[in-house]
Structure 1
């Protein structure tokens, strides 16, 4: 049997039609088929889209392969990073000083109010019946201790005749003085010699009996 006879005697194969027609599928063209060049010249970009040309020109970018890529040199980025470091080194100490100064100013107002209240509390404790200078001083120290105020020693002074020898309805003046150094955030050497003082005058309610 020859070759042609074998082919003729071969059983025919039935080809079933496919449900999907692959020839009708849309073909996505590539960038070359769409006409995107590797690099668009400024003249071509201006002719195609003036708005895009202005955007690219103002932002100093280059259109490559259909996308916008930054063309900032690495040296320029390092220079800007170094400039930011120098600016931070200059600004941070000033900002820190202003912040601490503001906090110290608020603390100074608080210290002044504390001293005023301590003087009032001490005078109020001294004008009572049979109250003495020791009672007034003890009350002042107790109040200042509750507020964590550094007194630096004897912070209370009482003008004569004092609560011990004052007659009935006689005025007695009590003064509280505390140093600023040690009661604020900034170093104490800045406030050397600074003090906060407050005086309160009250009448002795009843003279002490000997």
Structure 2
């Protein structure tokens, strides 16, 4: 915590001035479509007061408590009371309010985004670079649910453990009325071929009872973008 000595405190206090604190309360009538429209206009008016510098700090409440929000007016107590009596939400009985004279420090403001966060939020991240990879697509004919069950029980544990070391990137299996279609993405064809000859993979294939692919297609140079 920053150390503040007495001299600095006195300098800051000497520069302070009086503002008017608004505490806005919800009433039991704050519900319904008509109320929503009035609250919308209340908010629009707050935006206008903020743009004019009269209500430089406005903080609507975001919980379900009795308070609708708070604000700081750069006006006298009488001026602020007159402004609030004309508020559409107050006039409709949706809100009540209380005003208090408070002391504040000119130039204070609510903290913004962390340093650099505004530029980061405004600028979308660069699109990941596409890579050339190997895609294989094969279909298995049969009952999709039966085929999936055998795949999950016998093939997936071996694939999950061994395939990444051979350059496997992703696998998508689509169940259809005629069976399964599987799309496998590898860094290269050589890695896919090495995995297909793994003894454990061959044994898992045999144990699974899965049929030989009905169709098989290979695409050696597909463009893949990983987000």
Q: Which has the larger radius of gyration?
A: 1
Give me the TM-score of the superposition, normalised by structure 1: 0.22
Q: Which has the higher strand share?
A: 2
Question: Which of the pair has the greater relative contact order for Cα pairs under 8 Å at 6+ separation?
Answer: 2
